[in-house]
Amino acid sequence: MAFADTTPDDSALIKQGEYIARTGDCMACHTVGNNKPYSGGLGIKSPFGIIYSTNISPDPKFGIGDYTEKEFADAVRKGVRKDGSYLYPAMPYPSYAKMTDQDIHALYVYFMHGVQPVAEQAKQTDLSFPFNQRWGIMFWDKLFTDDGAFKPTASRSDEINRGAYLVQAAGHCGSCHTPRAISMQEKAYDDSSDQYLAGTELNGWNVPSLRAGGDGSKGIDGWSVQDIVDYLQTGRNVHAAVGGEMTAVIQHSTSHMTDADVKAIAEYLKTLPQQYAAGDSKSFSEDARKKTEDQLTQATNLTAGQRVYLDNCAACHFVSGKGAPNVFPPLAGTALANSANPTGLVSIILNGSRLPTTPKAPTQLAMPDFGWRLNDQQVADLATFIRSGWGNSQTAVSAADVKKIRAQLPPPAVTSKPGDLDGVEHYSSQKSQ
């Protein structure tokens, strides 16, 4: 259907399309900070260089106002532009390929009639040879993407199928949570493979597994459906508080989903069996946690890292390492503290972290930044303690590691003014494994 065929007063359809844009998180990549919605220009780091998102407001000159529905559908699901050139997979079309015609139709009507046109040129991508040769992407698409639409599984309930659809198609959760192969494609785009959502790394930051079924001993498999719902709606639960690039996903997307949709996602994730590796510690040791708690309480024979912890962190995260449910996240047994790569943990210590404001949890809790206060050696001692205290089991961090991470950090999220977190180049594509 072409632009002219849709009736602008089709307000129910526009509303539906707006909701689908939320489930697809189009805002996170196509808007910079407080700029006009969908005016584009967000720089996304990729292995080839920085790729800028485009203006997808309905302006006919600078945006997509002259796209027919077919052209829009081809851009979103196949990564092919109106002029026939190929989009970089920084736009998650390999996942959107699974979106239904119905959803694409509502999305199109919303973008044409529910979004304000913005007559501004977005910053343009300017990669060096050979990555500026867009035709190369055609071969990548042919090899690695399958344009199969989502197929519900007959043996699953409607709720689980709905969750699977949201996760695999619009939600594109796998674009960050599924490991990538050497040529950058996700190792799986659906749950027919046990690599799907099995966890990986994003710019040195641990992206946990979302496979929530299992014996409850590793990461998210110990979370209940309600724990997952709380996290997706508010960015916090009894086990964790969100940091890193997941913050924008919660802020712009999952916190706006209906209760039924978020629950469907959680129920679906609970059907995926967790992967256990030979070296995984099968159970978190409460004895080991208690031992560290006792040591910190007695405050004798402390290591350098333990001293830094007592002076700077214990007021909020407590000597127990258990934090306070839904307010201060625990440090004992968490994915972030037990990730092989210390970048996420060290980044949070240096830069602080701000929880997103969401409809269900409007208070903006923040962890202060310590980068100005602690030197590289102090941060290294502290991170080493956190990674090995309370039953955590990771290797030491050196001052040289901290120095390297510090040099690459954006300005702190916390001392900057609220909202700035949206404007930084937080949304980047993944490193290959």
Interaction between residue 414 and ligand HEC (CB under 6 A): no
Site for ligand HEC in 161-190 (CB under 6 A): 167, 171-173, 175-177
How far is it, in rounded angstroms, from Cα 296 to Cα 392?
Answer: 15
Q: Compute the least distance from the CB of residue 296 to ligand HEC, in Å.
A: 13
- Residue 51 pairs with which residues in a beta bridge? 44
Site for ligand HEC in 354-383 (CB under 6 A): 354-355, 365-368, 370, 382
State which of residues 115, 202, 296, 421 lies at the interface with ligand HEC (CB under 6 A). Answer: 202
**Element counts in the chain: helices (H) and strands (E):** 18, 6
| DSSP line for 354-422 | EPPPBTTB----EEPP-TTTS-HHHHHHHHHHHHHGGG-------HHHHHHHHHHPPSPTTTSPTTHHH
Site for ligand HEC in 269-308 (CB under 6 A): none
State which of residues 32, 210, 350, 421 lies at the interface with ligand HEC (CB under 6 A). Answer: 210
Helix (H) or strand (E) holding 200: strand 200-202
Judged by CB under 6 A, the stretch of 20-28, 140-148, 273-281, 389-397 that binds ligand HEC is: 20-28
Q: Which residues contact 298 (CB under 8 A, 6 or more apart)?
A: none
State which of residues 344, 389, 391, 412 lies at the interface with ligand HEC (CB under 6 A). Answer: 344
Judged by CB under 6 A, the stretch of 155-163, 277-285, 286-294, 324-332 that binds ligand HEC is: 324-332
State which of residues 163, 179, 208, 412 lies at the interface with ligand HEC (CB under 6 A). Answer: 208
State which of residues 13, 14, 90, 380 lies at the interface with ligand HEC (CB under 6 A). Answer: 90
Interaction between residue 112 and ligand HEC (CB under 6 A): no
Interaction between residue 97 and ligand HEC (CB under 6 A): no
Q: Exposed (0-12), middle (13-18) or buried (19+): which is 146, by Cβ within 10 Å?
A: exposed
Interaction between residue 328 and ligand HEC (CB under 6 A): yes
Using the structure block, give the residue that is written with the tokens 């997941």. Answer: 246
Judged by CB under 6 A, the stretch of 180-188, 234-242, 291-299, 396-404 that binds ligand HEC is: 234-242
- How far CA 380 is from CA of 54, 284, 308, in Å, comes to 40, 24, 10
